[in-house]
Amino acid sequence: MDIQKAHERSARLRDEIWRLNKAYFIDNKEEASEDVRDALKQELIALEAEFPDVITPDSPTQRVGAPLDGRLPKIAHITPKESLSDAFSYAELEDWVDQMHRALGKTNTPFEFLTELKIDGLNVTLIYQHEKNGHYQLFRAITRGNGIEGEDVTHTVKTVQSIPLSFDLRRDNHPQYIEISGEIYMRKDSAKNFANARNAAAGSIRQLDPKIAASRKLQIFCYSLGKETTDALGIKTQVELMDFISSLGIPVNTEAKLLTNLKDVEAMYEELQKKRDRLPYDIDGVVIKINDKRLQRDLGSTAKAPRWARAYKFPAEQKTAQILDIQLQIGRTGAITPVALLSPTQLAGTTVTRATLHNADEIARQDIRIGDTVVVQKAGDIIPEVVRVITNLRPSESIPFHFPLHCPSCGEKLVRPEGEAVHRCLGTNCSAVRQEKIEHFVSRYAFNIEGFGKETIDELLSQKLVSDAADIFFLSHADLIDLPLFQEKKTQKILAAIDGVRQIPLDRFLYALGIRHIGRETAEILAKRIEWPKTDIAIETGGSSHTQVSLFDAGAKQQVIHGISMGDITDTLQSLDSDTLSEIDGIGSVVAQSLQDWISEEDNRALLHKFENAGVVALQPEGSHAPQVFTGLTFVVTGTLPSLPREDVKKMIKERGGKVSSSVSKKTNYVIAGDSPGSKFDTAKELGITILNEDGFKALMT
């Protein structure tokens, strides 16, 4: 920037800061958050430091007083960890309460809410093992990880002074394990040398050397017990749970409050927003939980989160940045996402240099241009996005941004399908799409092949060693050892990782294919609800870098597994019509059509055949063997059954193709009733719906 542009920019900044300050301090109108006003002033300060000649006596700056890296072992959780669904407004909380009332079938059910501070830290589960006579010893500490398994961080968690290494539990029964979850955090005064307290805490816990973690004064607040622990101890409320944890000498946050209505929850939320900066630790919202454990069990969970809890998040932090350029990002399905390259700005503890612009319509709606100063925030405190343009700071020479007509990678003409907001590249040989597809294929929830980072995939593509995901399974030692990114150790590690995933659960395989509209949950439904043929498949192992072992190879060994061949997957998908697929609960017409479109393409069928030649075999996921005897039937479960928990009954119904409703209507086929069934039982009798007891339900399954 030359001196003339510096004068122009500083003048615009002074005017805009004054306008926003006047609106806020004089007119009582907040046109921009304090973060935005401060960000503009910080830019002006930096500009004046670089060009002192632009400083003027009336500048706002002249006012007095102006302001696992994979090295840690993986351990399976006793209780799988769930995420919390977010709420960002009082209206969303009201919707949540309405949803719970509908799920319970009672609009007048009173709720007690336990509200807890949402500590911005690292989730860790402490597992204490019973030694003898009620004495428990800290056995293991595990990070949340992917919810199913996490990293073993026992060696560093033991350095947290507030975590007891043992305790005595005085009661009649002593479960083998006490499972307690909480948030490891770093106090603000301990994190002064770090850019972000949360990341500092997470990095400290994942250190290999426990002395480093010990030096960083980590703390913990605990707030949860595993299901087996809760059941074994007979805990009936969330308040009782917190009292139990505290009685063990384990820290809990004393800001938690038991409230009886949403208005009091909102008042607490607003109070915390005001005193957030004065707290000695970082928080990013309030966690709201139904206090009654019985109601928690009745409400259950979705595939990802409990229905009985919400994380009421604070508004996203906002800052300003300049758009240096607008580039197109290409996804695995060819979807084009415009991305703004930003001047670096600190946002929620991290340096942000990119933000999504969503699509061409969003760019046009906000008239976003290169050179604009924009307000950015993290959507859900995660993904940076552009909120609005500060047009008063727009350079005089700026021009509207015109969305490109052709793919920046392969040059093919971009297409915008009818009814969609995104443009797509449909080029069959687009290198960017190919790269994204393979990155998705090797990602954590797909094949999860260690060592396959972006640079490795780019190198393999550029050397023409792979052209699609199936080629990965034909890589040999000779292919890799001479590549710039490879040495003997990495070569051996990657080849071993590839061989270790040739047998993969069917749901992960379907997700890894990257079929449009088929995410992890949908892939799991398809794997469990479709009747896939299974057979004994002979697998050749050993003696070579992949499973295509020569009959003359002395190292060849044969293993027989009960799995699903790629040929059977192809035949099954081709045999299913849209109507049959759409009848599966959780699929619908859009997914059905997407699946049919994918298998109808010859290239995709050839890809499956290539996987077959590579020795890839799918394994049936747990719980998917049940016959689909409840297809087309709707059930309502009410009351307490003699031996089957209600959530288990619902799971059995869904595994057999049925639907579970929370309310009785004319569309209900069966009501399964136990003790104290309530109004649903009466409604079923009035409507003449078949009512089953537990034995009747079991008989219906056979």
Domain CATH number, residue 638: 3.40.50.10190
Q: pLDDT band for position 316 (50/70/90)?
A: low
- Considering 23, 40, 62, which residue would you say is the last residue of a domain? 62
Q: What percent of the chain has pLDDT over 70?
A: 92
What angle is formed at CA 222 by the lines to CA 217 and CA 223, rounded to 5 degrees? 155
Distance CA(99)–CA(308), nearest Å, equals 10
Band (pLDDT 50/70/90 cuts) for residue 150 is: confident
Taking residues 537-565, report their average pLDDT. Answer: 58
- In 3D space, the residue among 260, 220, 270, 219 whose CA is nearest the CA of residue 239 turns out to be 260
Q: Which residue has the tokens 């034909």?
A: 474
Average pLDDT, integer, range 481-495: 88
Q: What is the pLDDT of residue 26?
A: 47
What CA–CA distances, in Å, run from 649 to 397, 645, 660? 66, 7, 10
Count Cβ atoms below 10 Å from residue 345 Cβ, excluding itself: 19
The backbone region for 417, taken as left when phi is positive above 0, alpha when psi lies in -120 to 50, beta otherwise, is beta
Do 237 and 188 share a structural domain? yes
CB 357 within 8 A of CB 327: no
Three-state DSSP at 653 gives helix
State how far the Cα of 664 lies from the Cα of 125, in Å rounded to an integer. 39
Quote the tokens at residue 439.
């990155």
Reported confidence tier of residue 548, pLDDT bands at 50, 70, 90:
very low
Residue 589 and residue 564 share a domain = yes
Residue 564 and residue 647 in one domain: no
Per-residue pLDDT at 544 exceeds 60: no
Q: Which amino acid is at 438?
A: I
Question: What pairs with residue 76 in β-bridges?
Answer: 149
Q: Which residues contact 350 (CB under 8 A, 6 or more apart)?
A: 195, 196, 199
Residues noted as catalytic: 118
- Say if residue 623's pLDDT is above 60: no
Q: For residue 367, give the CATH number of its domain.
A: 2.40.50.140
* Distance (Å, whole) CA 634 – CA 669: 5
Asked, for residue 178, whether it belongs to a domain, the answer is yes
Give Cβ neighbours of residue 664 (< 8 Å, ≥ 6 apart): 105, 636, 671, 680, 683, 684, 687, 689
Helix axes 566-575, 602-613, angle to 10 degrees: 150
265 with 180, same domain: the answer is yes
- The reply to whether 256 and 390 lie within a common domain is no
**542 φ/ψ sector (left φ>0, alpha ψ -120 to 50, else beta):** left
Over residues 198-228, the pLDDT tens digits come to 778 888 888 888 888 888 889 999 999 998 8
Q: Are residues 137 and 264 in the same domain?
A: yes
pLDDT at site 286? 95
pLDDT of residue 29 exceeding 80: no
Domain that holds residue 582: 502-625
Spatial neighbors of 589 by CB under 8 A, at least 6 apart, are: 578, 582
3-state SS, residue 625? coil
pLDDT band at 245 (very low <50, low <70, confident <90, very high): very high
* 26 and 108 co-located in one domain: no
Torsion of the alpha carbons at 392, 395, 399 and 403, rounded to the nearest 10: -80
Half-sphere exposure of 104 (CA within 13 A, CB side): 20
Domain-embedded: residue 452: no
| One domain, residues 202 and 259 | yes
* pLDDT at 601 (0 to 100): 92
Which secondary-structure segment (H or E) carries 266? helix 262-275
- DSSP per-residue letters across 275-296: HGGGSSS-EEEEEEEESBHHHH
Mean pLDDT of 82-100: 88
**What is the enclosing helix (H) or strand (E) of 15?**
helix 3-21
Asked whether residue 409 falls in the same domain as residue 300, the answer is: no
The total number of residues shown for the chain amounts to: 702
In a domain, 486, yes or no: no
Give strand pairing partners of 385. 356, 377
pLDDT at 69 over 80: no
Is the predicted pLDDT of residue 551 greater than 70, yes or no?
A: no
Give the per-residue pLDDT at 513. 95
Closest CA to 588 of 664, 528, 658, 526: 526
Please state the rounded mean pLDDT for residues 152-174.
86
Question: Residue 641 and residue 664: Cα distance in Å, rounded?
Answer: 18
Lowest mean pLDDT among 98-112, 333-347, 551-565, 653-667: 551-565
Confidence (pLDDT) at 318: 82
- Asked, for residue 338, whether it belongs to a domain, the answer is yes
* Same domain assignment for residues 41 and 105: no
Q: Do residues 338 and 385 share a domain?
A: yes
Q: Report the candidate in 151, 5, 141, 8 with the shortest Cα–Cα distance to residue 70.
A: 151
| Cβ(220)–Cβ(124) below 8 Å | yes
Q: What local confidence, expressed as pLDDT, does residue 265 receive? A: 94
Choosing from 625, 643, 672, the residue where a domain stops is 625
Position 458 in a domain: no
- Most distant CA pair in the chain, distance: 88
C-alpha to C-alpha distances, 85 to 308, 513, 569, nearest whole angstrom? 10, 27, 34
Q: Give the per-residue pLDDT at 161.
A: 79
Strand positions, DSSP E, 551-591:
557-563
Say yes or no to pLDDT of 348 above 80.
no
Position 359 scores a pLDDT of 92
Number of CB atoms found within 10 A of residue 104's CB: 19
- Cα(first)–Cα(last) distance of the chain, in Å? 78
pLDDT of residue 62: 60
**Which residues contact residue 346 at a Cβ distance below 8 angstroms, ignoring those fewer than 6 apart?**
195, 319, 352
Give the CATH number for residue 156: 3.30.470.30
Segment of 186-195, 384-393, 587-596, 615-624 carrying the highest mean pLDDT? 384-393
Torsion sign across C-alpha atoms 127, 131, 136, 139: negative
Better-scored residue on pLDDT, 274 or 568 = 568
Q: For residue 259, is it within any domain?
A: yes
* Assigned domain for 447 exists: no
Nearest to 588 by CA among 634, 647, 531, 521: 521
Q: Please give the Cα distance from 479 to 481 (Å, whole number).
A: 6
Decide if 211 is inside a domain. Answer: yes
Q: In the prediction, which pLDDT does 365 show? A: 94
| Residue 197 shares a structural domain with residue 210 | yes
Spell out the SS3 assignment of 665-699.
Answer: CCCCCEEEECECCCHHHHHHHHHCCEEECHHHHHH
- The position carrying tokens 């809410």 is 113
Summarize the chain as % helix, strand, coil (round to 5). Answer: 35, 25, 40
Is pLDDT larger for residue 414 or for residue 158? 414
Per-residue model confidence (pLDDT) at position 412: 92
Q: Per-residue pLDDT for 555 more than 60?
A: no
Q: Which of 178, 172, 143, 171 is nearest to 157 (CA)?
A: 143
pLDDT for position 578: 82
Least confident range of 116-125, 183-192, 576-585: 576-585
Percent of the chain with pLDDT over 90: 44
Strand partners, 113: 259, 290
- Asked which of 256, 285, 313 is the last residue of a domain, the reply is 313
- Tokens 């309460």 belong to residue: 97
Query: Going by DSSP bridges, is the β-strand pair 149-151/74-76 parallel, antiparallel, or unpaired?
Result: antiparallel
What does pLDDT average to over the chain? Answer: 86
Q: Is 639 helix (H, G, I), strand (E, B) or coil?
A: coil
> Between β-strands 557-563 and 659-660, what pairing exists: parallel, antiparallel or unpaired?
unpaired
- Tokens standing for residue 531: 């009747």
Q: What is the pLDDT of residue 435?
A: 93
Residue 507 has pLDDT above 50, yes or no: yes
| Count of CB atoms situated within 10 Å of the CB of 100 | 19
Reported as half-sphere exposure (CB side, CA atoms, 13 A), residue 19 has a value of 13
Which residue, among 547, 470, 474, has the nearest Cα to 514 in the 3D structure? 470
CATH number at residue 532: 1.10.150.20
The number of distinct structural domains making up the chain is 5
pLDDT at 42: 82
CB proximity list for 364: less than 8 A, separation 6 or greater = none
- The reported pLDDT for the residue numbered 382 is 63
Average pLDDT over every residue of 294-298 = 91
Across residues 19-33, what is the average pLDDT? 68
